[in-house]
Amino acid sequence: MTAPALAILSVGMVSGVGLTAPAAGAAIRCAIDNFQETRFIDSGGEWIMGCSVPLEQPWRGRTKLLKMLALALRECANQVPALDLKRVPLLLCVAETERPGRLAGLDQSLLTELQVETGLAFHPKSSVIAEGRVSGVTALRQARQLITEEKLSSVMIAGVDSLLVAATLQGYEEQEKLLTSQNSDGFIPGEAAAAILVGKPLSNAVPQLLCLGLGLGMEKAFEGSELPLRAEGLVAAIREALAEASYDMGDLDFRITDAAGGQYNFKESALALTRLLRKRKEKFDIWHPADCIGEVGAATVPVILIVAWLACRKGYVDGPKILGHVGNDDGQRGALVLSYQ
């Protein structure tokens, strides 16, 4: 079953390695990171490493989320002449409700506060999706529905998150998922905001990055469950995305994932590959932007799309067909198939 395609029309991104999408993309391409000691200390008495966004003032918490998000939205909107955001729904991706240290009230008030911060009024169909890293895949599905069924011309998808919060770091350290002086098998926390404008594929011959397939799955053997990992949830998500795109795993050229340092994600990705790849490939590279910007939670899928969009436009990709996949701590898995045409 072939699903309607979505085209990436414009992008905006704020991260620890760049306050614009081109700057961040160039840094990620060159494997430049901004990992530094944070103001947080681990259980061993050592400073926790992290990747913070260097804004003009030392904002924290909800204020910093709004400042980062406003920058990313403006960059994305400014690339499209005469874009009226009152006619463009904003699907805002934020951290899942059960995440340790999650800021309170994100679902209820962040969208309203963003309108005050930017001075903009968003479309009535705008909403907040609180599903963590997987929320970007859910947002793409909702955007596709709004464009095909509601006949809207475009939809803005944005994700914002920060793991540089004391309660969040403490929670992940207790779960042994954070990179600390006591644990080498963990991720480096980061923060970011990213926005993309999606719409119907352009009818002219302009090269464009298309999202052809989306998939969701549920993994019972998530990290910490003590069940044997077979990557069934990720395999289900990838199969659904491939089916929507009418592709086989062997048709794809490389992968971009949310792997952020712990070995679990790499094992899961490798297991999924052994179950889905049925032809020999000389090379099937895997990219993980978290190597440069750290774990950025709900901003991950927009970041993946922006990294792919910039790489395709600059011509340093291994091929035009791309697989992206992400997963949440509770076992939710998401996948997307992209093609540069």
Q: What is the mean pLDDT of residues 308-330?
A: 95
Q: Where are the beta strands (DSSP E) in 115-253?
A: 127-130, 154-162, 191-199, 209-218
Binned at pLDDT 50, 70 and 90, residue 1 comes out as low
Read off the pLDDT band of 136 (50, 70, 90): very high
Tokens 């030392």, located at residue: 58
The pLDDT, as a whole number, for residue 196 is 98
Q: What is the pLDDT of residues 43-81, one digit of tens each?
A: 999 999 999 999 999 999 999 999 999 999 999 999 998
Say whether both 185 and 91 belong to one domain: yes
- pLDDT at residue 114 is higher than 70: yes
Q: Which of 145, 169, 199 is the last residue of a domain?
A: 199
190 and 219 both lie in a single domain: no
Assigned domain for 130 exists: yes
Residue 175 sits in a domain whose CATH number is 3.40.47.10
Domain presence at residue 309: yes
Instruction: State phi, psi for 183 to the nearest 5 degrees.
Output: -145, 115
For residue 125, pLDDT beyond 60: yes
Residues 29 and 171 in one domain: yes
Is there a domain that residue 13 lies in? Answer: yes
The 10s digit of each residue's pLDDT in 155-214 is 999 999 999 999 999 999 999 999 999 999 999 999 999 999 999 998 877 889 999 999
Mark whether 79 and 179 lie in a shared domain: yes
176: left (phi over 0), alpha (psi -120 to 50) or beta: left
Is there a single domain that holds both residue 49 and residue 184?
A: yes
Mark whether 163 and 221 lie in a shared domain.
no
Residue 204 lies in a domain: no
Q: In the listed set 177, 199, 221, which residue is the last one of a domain according to the structure?
A: 199
Q: Is residue 333 part of a domain?
A: yes
Higher per-residue confidence, 141 vs 105: 141
- Which tokens belong to 110? 């962040």
Q: Which of 199, 219, 242 is a domain's end point?
A: 199
Buried b (16+ CB within 10 A) or exposed e, 206-233: eebbbbbbbbbbbbebbbeeeeebebbb
Of 257, 268, 271, 244, which Cα lies nearest the Cα of 337?
244
254-298: pLDDT as tens digits: 999 999 888 999 999 999 999 999 888 889 999 999 999 999 999
* 217 and 122 inside one domain: no
Q: Are residues 20 and 117 in the same domain?
A: yes
Domain membership of residue 224 (yes or no) is yes
Count up the domains in the chain and report the number. Answer: 2
Q: What's residue 44's pLDDT?
A: 93
Q: Is residue 223 located within the same domain as residue 163?
A: no
Residues 323 and 291 in one domain: yes
Same structural domain, 254 and 147: no
Cα separations in angstroms, 79 against 55, 196, 197, 307: 22, 11, 10, 17
Range of the structural domain that residue 237 is part of = 209-340
pLDDT in tens, 221-265: 988 888 999 999 999 999 999 999 999 999 999 999 999 888 999
Residue 41 lies in a domain: yes
Q: Do 30 and 121 lie in a common domain?
A: yes
Query: Is residue 1 in some structural domain?
Result: no
- Weakest mean pLDDT among 91-100, 103-112, 170-179, 209-218: 103-112
